[in-house]
Structure 1
């Protein structure tokens, strides 16, 4: 399919939703590249009770069932950043939508949306396969910093609020370079923008433990 024809197909009614999702992903990664957002600004984590935590600068939502926890783990979510997984879901979804509507000659928005459901399910399994190398990469990175020795005793800046129950994020400078940490507070909640002291590493929950740091 020539490039011009591909661009024309992308904005046809049956492909509008996948195209909009692809544009969203491209804009997200553009903001990450230029430094406006961190790769984990939008992310999720699973706690020990099977609850899903969705963290962002604007909101944090909760939902949790055992089957959902299992499904998320099956698709590598919680082991890699959410946006990496979504990128590998949306790209094959977009390609599949373009091809399905092109070869069926479909120009109907409703039928195009109908195609999206089976394509989305198929894209989830494609994303599971494509993200396996990233699982290994982030696992290796976690092992490198997972002992907790690198950041313990350092003062960090909280980027996402942390409580004893809810996972947050913080940035700490190691040898002049910023290191992103998943954190929980040990006592009082720590708000975004506050400084905290990294006191320990929880290997079971795979996060650092922090407490408010007050300077004289």
Structure 2
């Protein structure tokens, strides 16, 4: 039975179980996730497994199960490089979800995450492509101390990141690959790099620019 709305809104939008909104709205707005409950709930009712349905009202002998949270088993397509995705029903957090760079997420009901300022909550600096996480930045001078202290948005334009035709920040979340070159988000309003001053190199992870913090250098 895939009629989720027989027990709660799709996505849940209220404050009491089973219709607890949590962060359903934010996730449901993401491309490829909209309306796809099985992204995080792969144990939908079936002929052999009623675990999810046993939470429903008026199920004889199941009153003790009518409590929050609902079961969450994340689809394997969203497993992080570090392991299988999981949900902690006590802390209301997820771990090893590729979209969050394998890091523990904020609390599902009370936590927040500002994608324009909290980049490192989902991106861990790496040493090579896909290491330690699929979305780890690793090229050029990412590890340089003054670059680390300046923050990601000193170079990466949040407006370009949010543009589905340019930065594609939240497209194709169900694949491990990064579908766009981060270089297309460099420079412009809000960054320390004038629009158009960044010149991509011949290979991924190379290039040069004229930032306000120093003269032209190769990445």
TM-score by length of 1: 0.31
Higher relative contact order (CA 8 A, sep 6+): 1
More helix by share: 1
TM-score by length of 2: 0.31
More strand by share: 1
